[in-house]
């Protein structure tokens, strides 16, 4: 290809107009070109045009060849209105003029740039007017074509999303015109780095998409993603000022991550969010595991709603034992037999109940059932057994929680001093002021409050003097390895501190005679664990109280 010298009148003419001219031989090869340096998408990318046909997408090749053959075959003028490949961001209307005969046959192709305002409405509906890139609609069309092609060829492709960070700041600092210029520059940088078979689209104010055929290796995609991100990290020149922005990318692969355009777009969007959540400035691949977890959680939510309706949830009671081995109460623990037959761990269904809002209903039911059960036992046996009930974060923060507790006590007739509510450290620290007010009101009516799993949360000693508490339940993680010197030192410190603060200390997870012996000698007040009794039905707990059939302390 030969380009006229800069002073050529022909070149000057086409530079001024924004139009293009190509002299083509009989095969369509470019032997002469004018206007390339100033035409949008040509000079910026440094693209060297070797053949007229390479300017057009694969799907338009048949139309372009037909027009070319008609022009050269009859030495006539033929108009051609076909969009160039996306990287050539302007739209041209072509006039092909055939001339000569024999070996001297050729075609003069003149492209007249069409202003965006003059483009047909249908074309504007498929391209972004600012960058000339395909828009979301055309991306969908090309993605669906890629799916059909991949199915025929048993191949794969990738859909990437790129989101700019800092675009709004550019608009605010330099004006909308600078933001537009930035988007055009980003588009050109992306186009300069991809293959002719790839599609670069603008699908949002600061979001681009790339459709890349024959991309199967996730590692190669991550590497390419990092390269594309690096393009956005190089300074942009806006109004003679260097401006820096950054970006994040996410991608999904066909068919591994979806078999429709919508599924792939969702997958790429999830991956983009993951990249942003990880700090931004990185590329992430769609990970289906969280989606599978989400589906499993929705399934469990549905089953839990059904379980509440069908009465599949119930309470078990684990004995609370003083250091000498005498039962003084029990902790109520929620259980669920899914479908009436399949036990589900509380570690699985309690968080689901918390997320979906069922926890307040379940918590209220557990509180009323437990207090009613122990009020009956105490009346019938003339005892003063304490019932301890766990309280979830959402339940504790509920507007009517204090009234719910008061109603349960009034309904059951249980003395408030025999009700202990177990909360975690995290509940207190979410809103310390509100927590302090509520705890004071609970203790004012005589209810006990225990910190559950002490030592695994915030463990700030400051809150122990700030809040109205009655007990500390030291977490089982400090008990299971006794007599480990470090764990024993922690236990002794907690027990000593509890005595000084007037709090009862309870050790959870006691499973052996040796642990019981060590904890007694270390100054613990009470014990809970499988050594004294597993969680059991209320009737079994009553029988245990009647028999007081607990392990007896052996001499050291």
Say which CATH number the domain at 106 has. Answer: 3.30.450.20
> Do 265 and 330 have their domain in common?
no
State which residues form the domain around 185: 136-285
Residue 418 pLDDT greater than 80, yes or no: yes
Distances from the Cα of 280 to the Cα of 109, 229, 245, 411, angstroms: 46, 10, 12, 55
Domain limit, last residue, from 113, 128, 144 = 113
In a domain, 380, yes or no: yes
- Supply the pLDDT for residue 397: 87
Residue 6 pLDDT greater than 50, yes or no: no
Helix and strand tally (H, E) in the chain? 19, 21
Both tokens of residue 238? 């806006």
Residue 11 pLDDT greater than 70, yes or no: no
- Residues near 270 by beta carbon (within 8 Å), at least 6 away in sequence: 250, 286, 287, 290, 291
Model pLDDT for residues 204-226, shown as the tens digit of each residue: 999 999 999 988 888 888 889 99
- Supply the pLDDT for residue 33: 84
> Do 164 and 261 have their domain in common?
yes
Question: Can you tell me the distance from the alpha carbon of 301 to that of 306, in angstroms, rounded to the nearest whole number?
Answer: 9
Band of the pLDDT at 16, cuts 50, 70, 90?
Answer: very low
Q: Is the pTM of this model over 0.75?
A: no
Domain limit, last residue, from 285, 313, 342 = 285
Both tokens of residue 189? 């940088």
Question: Can you tell me the distance from the alpha carbon of 193 to that of 185, in angstroms, rounded to the nearest whole number?
Answer: 13
Burial class of residue 26 (count of CB atoms within 10 Å of its CB; 0-12, 13-18, 19+): middle
CB-CB contact of 528 with 508 (8 Å): yes
> Do 280 and 236 have their domain in common?
yes
- Supply the pLDDT for residue 278: 87
- Supply the pLDDT for residue 103: 77
Model pLDDT for residues 271-288, shown as the tens digit of each residue: 999 999 888 899 999 987
In a domain, 183, yes or no: yes
Distances from the Cα of 35 to the Cα of 21, 100, 131, 133, 319, angstroms: 7, 24, 20, 21, 89
CB-CB contact of 87 with 200 (8 Å): yes
In a domain, 126, yes or no: no
Mean pLDDT of the chain: 85
Mean pLDDT of 50-60: 83
Band of the pLDDT at 321, cuts 50, 70, 90?
Answer: very high
> Do 335 and 432 have their domain in common?
yes
> Do 281 and 303 have their domain in common?
no
Report the alpha-carbon angle 248-253-259, nearest 5: 125
- Supply the pLDDT for residue 15: 47
Both tokens of residue 274? 């993951």
> Do 327 and 265 have their domain in common?
no
In a domain, 394, yes or no: yes
Which of 392, 398, 417 lies closest to 334 in space, CA to CA?
392
Q: Compute CA 18 distance to the chain's CA centroid, rounded to the nearest angstrom.
A: 46
> Do 368 and 273 have their domain in common?
no
- Supply the pLDDT for residue 89: 60
Band of the pLDDT at 41, cuts 50, 70, 90?
Answer: low
Mean pLDDT of 320-333: 94
Domain limit, last residue, from 285, 316, 346 = 285
The CATH code of the domain that includes 221 is 3.30.70.270
The strand pairing partners of 113, in sequence order, are 92
Band of the pLDDT at 466, cuts 50, 70, 90?
Answer: confident
Question: Can you tell me the distance from the alpha carbon of 280 to that of 274, in angstroms, rounded to the nearest whole number?
Answer: 9
Band of the pLDDT at 487, cuts 50, 70, 90?
Answer: confident
For 432-452, give the DSSP string: HHHHHHHHHHHHHTT-EEEEE
- Supply the pLDDT for residue 43: 52
In a domain, 154, yes or no: yes
Model pLDDT for residues 91-117, shown as the tens digit of each residue: 677 888 888 887 788 999 888 776 554
> Do 315 and 207 have their domain in common?
no
Number of domains in the chain: 3
Both tokens of residue 444? 């004012």
Question: Can you tell me the distance from the alpha carbon of 160 to that of 193, in angstroms, rounded to the nearest whole number?
Answer: 14
Residue 366 has, within 13 A of its CA and on its CB side, a CA count of 28
Long-range contact list for 334-338, CB < 8 A, 24+ apart? 334/362, 334/366, 334/390, 335/535, 336/304, 336/307, 336/312, 337/312, 338/303, 338/307, 338/312
Q: Higher model confidence: residue 289 or residue 519?
A: 519
In a domain, 374, yes or no: yes
Q: Higher model confidence: residue 412 or residue 298?
A: 412
**Quick check: helix, strand or coil at residue 458?**
coil
- Residues near 377 by beta carbon (within 8 Å), at least 6 away in sequence: 383, 385, 538, 542, 545
Both tokens of residue 276? 């942003």
> Do 253 and 370 have their domain in common?
no
CB-CB contact of 518 with 488 (8 Å): yes
In a domain, 553, yes or no: no
> Do 329 and 420 have their domain in common?
yes
**Which letter, b or e, does each residue of 80-92 get, where b requires 16 or more Cβ atoms within 10 Å of its Cβ?**
bebbbbbbbbbbb
Question: Can you tell me the distance from the alpha carbon of 249 to that of 438, in angstroms, rounded to the nearest whole number?
Answer: 46
In a domain, 120, yes or no: no
- Residues near 548 by beta carbon (within 8 Å), at least 6 away in sequence: 326, 327
The CATH code of the domain that includes 452 is 3.20.20.450
Report the alpha-carbon angle 265-271-275, nearest 5: 140
Model pLDDT for residues 374-386, shown as the tens digit of each residue: 999 999 999 999 9
* Percent of the chain residues topping a pLDDT of 70: 87
Mean pLDDT of 420-425: 92
Model pLDDT for residues 438-461, shown as the tens digit of each residue: 999 999 999 999 998 887 765 556
Residue 463 pLDDT greater than 90, yes or no: no
Mean pLDDT of 82-96: 73
> Do 44 and 169 have their domain in common?
no
> Do 190 and 105 have their domain in common?
no
């Amino acid at each position: 290809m030969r380009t006229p010298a800069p002073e050529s009148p022909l070149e000057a003419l086409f530079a001024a107009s924004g139009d293009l001219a190509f002299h083509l031989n009989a095969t369509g090869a470019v032997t002469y070109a004018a206007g390339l340096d100033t035409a949008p998408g040509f000079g910026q990318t440094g693209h060297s045009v070797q053949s007229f046909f390479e300017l057009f997408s694969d799907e338009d090749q048949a139309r372009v060849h037909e027009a070319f053959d008609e022009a050269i075959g009859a030495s006539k003028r033929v108009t051609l209105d076909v969009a160039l490949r996306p990287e050539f961001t302007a739209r041209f209307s072509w006039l092909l003029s055939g001339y000569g005969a024999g070996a001297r046959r050729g075609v003069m192709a003149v492209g007249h740039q069409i202003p965006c305002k003059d483009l047909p409405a249908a074309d504007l509906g498929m391209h972004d007017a600012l960058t000339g890139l395909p828009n979301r609609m055309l991306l969908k069309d090309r993605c669906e074509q890629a799916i059909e092609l991949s199915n025929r060829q048993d191949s794969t492709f990738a859909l990437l999303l790129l989101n700019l960070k800092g675009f709004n700041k550019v608009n605010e600092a330099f004006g909308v015109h600078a933001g537009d210029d930035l988007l055009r520059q980003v588009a050109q940088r992306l186009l300069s780095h991809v293959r002719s078979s790839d599609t670069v689209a603008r699908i949002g104010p600061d979001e681009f998409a790339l459709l890349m055929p024959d991309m199967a290796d996730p590692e190669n995609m991550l590497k390419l993603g990092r390269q594309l991100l690096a393009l956005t990290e190089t300074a942009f020149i806006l109004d003679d000022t260097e401006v820096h922005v950054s970006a994040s990318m996410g991608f999904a692969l066909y068919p591994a991550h979806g078999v429709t355009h919508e599924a792939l777009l969702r997958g790429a969007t999830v991956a983009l969010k993951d990249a942003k959540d990880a700090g931004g400035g990185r590329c992430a691949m769609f990970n289906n595991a969280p989606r599978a977890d989400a589906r499993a959680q929705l399934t469990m939510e549905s089953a839990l709603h059904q379980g509440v309706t069908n009465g599949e949830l119930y309470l078990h009671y684990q004995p609370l034992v003083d250091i000498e081995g005498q039962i003084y109460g029990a902790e109520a623990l929620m259980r669920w037999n899914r479908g009436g037959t399949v036990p589900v761990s509380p570690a699985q269904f309690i968080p689901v109940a918390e997320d979906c809002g069922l926890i307040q209903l379940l918590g209220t039911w557990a509180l009323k059932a437990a207090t009613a059960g122990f009020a009956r036992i105490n009346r019938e046996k003339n005892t003063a057994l304490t019932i301890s009930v766990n309280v979830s974060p959402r339940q504790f923060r509920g507007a009517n929680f204090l009234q719910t507790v008061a109603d349960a006590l009034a309904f059951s007739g249980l003395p408030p001093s025999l009700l202990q509510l177990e909360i975690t450290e995290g509940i207190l620290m979410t809103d310390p002021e509100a927590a302090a007010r509520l705890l004071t009101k609970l203790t004012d009516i005589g209810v006990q409050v225990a910190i559950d799993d002490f030592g695994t949360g915030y463990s700030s000693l400051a809150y122990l003097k700030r809040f109205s508490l009655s007990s500390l339940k030291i977490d089982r993680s400090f008990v299971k390895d006794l007599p480990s010197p470090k764990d024993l030192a922690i236990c002794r410190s907690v027990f000593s501190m509890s005595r000084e603060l007037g709090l009862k200390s309870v050790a959870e997870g006691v499973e052996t005679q040796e642990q019981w012996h060590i904890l007694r000698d270390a100054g613990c007040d009470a014990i809970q664990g499988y050594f004294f009794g597993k969680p059991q039905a209320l009737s079994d707990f009553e029988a245990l109280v009647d028999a007081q059939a607990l392990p007896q302390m052996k001499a050291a």
